[in-house]
Structure 1
Amino acid sequence: MDHSICLEPICRLCGCKRAIREGFRPYLKEKYENIIISALKINVTFDVLGVHPPYICQCCILKLKRWRKFSNRNIKKICNIHVVSFQDTECKFCNVTEVVPVTLEDFKNAAVNSHLIPSFPNEDELHFIKLTKDGNNISINLTVFKDFSWALIVAGITMQTKSLLGEDFGDFLNLQDFSKLCNVIENAGTCTGNQDFPDVVEKKKGPDGQIPINITKNDIYCHLHCTIRHKKCELLVSKDTKRCRVCKMFRSDLAAKRNAYRAPGRDQLKPKTPNIHLSRAQLEDKLATLKGECRQLKQRNRCLQDKVTTYANERAKLLAKLLAAESTVMDDVEPEIESNSI
């Protein structure tokens, strides 16, 4: 095989034989010259024709773009590309008569040394799971698809980022990255969130005990694990860490919510608020308040009745005295009138 033809499908950076994809235009390394220099400190303009491959695979392109995204935010990240040297005098690809493609079975064999439990439900994807310490529930679920893209579900939540504990793995995996990913997952723990706010969750329940979803503007309730997580929870933490930095940072919001519920008069509702919009706890508080007001009204009614009765009795006694006095006066005046008339 001609050596220049042999180099075409090989990636200039990682050395994998996937630089040319069927139906897609290959990525020229010169187009990404600046980002390669910034991320990997390699100047491809000094490459020697016939020694270095001309193209870059899509996996490396995505890793470079992801690194630039973090770099623009002033976040220090290592570009997870293992650069292969092409300075050898003999090409290991030219003498290969048959290329054996990598399959999902190879990924399954690469995970033998890890504590992840593999399963192979179909030909299009491969699943690996990690159980909790008690072994009763699944804490982490890793899926590798046929095109070697991957997805990670932690505590029932799909992770949106491909950067785990400072390691950037990109959207597609090779065997080396997969082994490193398994090692990271094996040595990682799951963020416990904020489990010590059950009173806040109870206050947010619906009128019929419906489980809430949003606790605050940025916190959600995970009922499967009975914990509150921030919407940007990192999910994975190191083994010695109980809670991720995001959930730890925003615990103050939940504490403020708890104090607002405990403070007297803080969470009073408007009298005209319809009952259908109230939670169960709020309805119970409203019922207790109405019962208390009813007792107070009955007591005030009894007091008013006693006052009216007392006032009526006093007026009756006074009126009786006046009538008696008037009768006495009339008895004394009548003889005088009769004598004067005679």
Structure 2
Amino acid sequence: MKKKLAIDAMGGDFAPKSVVEGCLSAQAKYTDIEFILFGDEAQIKPLLTDTSRMTIVHTTEKIDSGESDPVKAIRSKRNSSLVLAANAVKNGEADALISAGNTGALLASGIFIVGRIKQIDRPGLMSTLPTMDGKGFDMLDLGANAENTARHLQHFAVLGSFYAQNVRGIAKPRVGLLNNGSEASKGAPLQKEAYELLAADDTIHFIGNVEARDLMAGVADVVVTDGFTGNAVLKSIEGTASSLMTLLKASITNGGMRSKLGALFMKKSLYQLKDTLDYEKAGGAVLFGLKAPVIKSHGSSKADAIFATIKQTHKMLETDVVGKLVQHYQEDK
């Protein structure tokens, strides 16, 4: 069965070039995907070396990354590439939405245009983040919500478990609650209440509280927290990984001939380390809890990151993870 993807071709620092290149790479691998590229046809068309299964929908507006009011932007720029792509998903013309553009505008488009699953109060922004063993862990919320209730965190646990099971193939995902200690009594009122709800939920495999220092050691397969904390942790991991690679490169460059020779012999291992710390290889951040997959690729995404996001989206559609989630909440009534 064909899978139709609505692509915001104008979103991201290197759009539309990197977006189109990523789509072309995915087109060569996945014969069951049809691409609908929303954006400036004059910029997109010359980049398409293969137009099979590629449709361009010309748009006259673009939502910039610096928009201060995302909700206002999607309401005032109704002919933008992002809004028209979101409407295509809402109207059933496409099965999923991908954008590397303005995060706030994508969140607003997902919630107000695509729409949330009725039983889920707050969709969560979720990414698969790196662990030292290369398996990764799913974390949410990463910033879709500035504030959350304990019930929201329980929903995030169910959402993350469904994703880990269906998309990442983990039979019984371990769910951890991010806290300032592993003891059950730790945390502010939000964490304490969330702990009780998670412990009582027999639809998930809750392992208790987990600490931030243990996340990259693979302490859990799914980690839930409020959006403010999650966003801070995400940026800490991104910054640490980037700084580590920069320091390592500087040490080799400034360490003289012996360091350079050592790096030459360790070249394969160093590339493996880089791949382990590269969170973009797992795909984009999913706004999970909506009626269809809505995925945010990093703003600085190059073609390979766009390809990884399409691969991730293909898996979500192939496993029908959203449909299974809807069924779960209907049965839970």
Smaller-chain TM-score range? Answer: under 0.3
Which is higher, the Rg of structure 1 or of structure 2? 1
Scaled by the length of structure 2, what TM-score is found? 0.22
